[in-house]
Amino acid sequence: MHSAWTLSLLLISLVTGALMGADSIRCQLADGFDYPVGKPNGDGYYVFRGYWPNGHLGEDWNGRGGGDSDLGAPIYSTARGVVMISENIGGGWGHCIVIRHAYRDETGKIAMVDSQYGHLHARIVRLGQVVEKGQLIGTMGGNFGMYAVHLHFEMRKNLRIGMNRMQFARNNSNYYSPRDFINKHRVLQTSFQKYPIPTGLFSPYGRTSADDRIDGGEVVKVPVLPKRKSAGDLPDKGPSDEDEDFWSKLRARLKQSKVTEGTNPPQ
């Protein structure tokens, strides 16, 4: 078993170095995947619009209270991973987060998947941050009133997609059905060992994506992780459940319709 783990780590290191000269952030493997709302099982929520290839590439999660009653509801990371995007994308997306997860699949090999969370009211995490399963990463919104409040949630098997979806086939070759993936990976084998999670793999930005732009043809441009000078430049993890000072300040900001610096909607 130990030799198999060593081989898997070596393979990831080789792939990481080969893909576009990507850097990496070390993180433990995910120990399982939960639902991003009503953790861990989606309690109090339902899927209004599901996933289908060549159509809707994710799931739209709504609160059972109806209307916009779920505005500001907590959104959680589906699993342990590293934040690859945390930005107001604009266009049809608004505040958006992408997290990359490494996990051991049913064959024992290490695989990776990106989870994407769109139309958020607030983003709580920052680029390069390591997050845990069930950690608060943002709150539910509707892209500043463009849509009824809901979470658009995707699971991508192709790590290059980022926010330029039109460059990739819109089918099962690049995407998972989110609920199907989560249900098959609720509990996973993990360890204390940290593995390199590749960054900088996204397809080049600056191109217009027909389904992701506003009517004026705004180009999608998203900050990506810079090269690091040292491992100390990035945090090992976000705030914990025991960090009462963080949570009290967050609750106060949300009550006043304020969010983390750089994430306020336009007035």
Let me know if 136 is exposed, middle or buried by CB neighbors in 10 A (0-12, 13-18, 19+): buried
Distance CA 150, CA 134 (A): 18
CATH number for the domain running over 2-255: 2.70.70.10
The CA distance from 45 to 199, in Å, is 32
| pLDDT tens figures, 8-41 | 433 433 333 333 334 899 999 999 999 999 999 9
Which helix (H) or strand (E) covers residue 151, if one does? strand 151-156
Compute the residue count for the chain.
267
The β-bridge partners of 130 are 82
State the Cα–Cα distance between residues 17 and 51, nearest whole angstrom.
33
Q: Is the pLDDT of residue 210 over 60?
A: no
pLDDT of residue 165: 86
Closest CA to 212 of 86, 118, 99: 118
Q: Is 64 exposed, middle or buried, given 0-12, 13-18 or 19+ CB atoms closer than 10 A?
A: exposed
Domain parsing of the chain, residue ranges: 2-255
**For residue 72, what are the contacts with CB-CB under 8 A and spacing of at least 6?**
121, 122, 139, 140, 141, 254
Measured in degrees and rounded to the nearest 5, phi and psi for residue 52 equal -150, 135
Q: Is the pLDDT of residue 51 over 60?
A: yes
Structure confidence by residue, pLDDT tens digits, 86-135: 999 888 899 999 999 999 999 999 999 999 999 999 999 999 999 999 99
Residue 142, pLDDT score:
95
- Cα distance between residue 45 and residue 34, in whole Å: 13
Q: How far apart are CA 141 and CA 119, in angstroms?
A: 6
Instruction: Tell me the average pLDDT of the chain.
Output: 79
Structure-model confidence comparison of residues 190 and 247, the more confident one:
190
Confidence of residue 43 (pLDDT cuts 50, 70, 90): very high
The pLDDT > 90 percentage for the chain reads 61
Q: Which amino acid is at 56?
A: H
The amino acid at 77:
S
* The pLDDT value given to residue 129: 96
Residue 6 has a pLDDT of 38
**Tokens representing 222?**
């998203």
Cβ(73)–Cβ(150) below 8 Å: no
Bigger pLDDT: 249 or 91?
A: 91
pLDDT given at position 41: 97
Q: What is the pLDDT of residue 235?
A: 39
pLDDT given at position 167: 85
- Mind listing the pLDDT tens digit for each residue in 149-185? 999 999 999 999 998 888 899 999 999 999 999 999 9
pLDDT, residue 67, reads 86
The token pair that represents 110 in the structure block: 């290490």
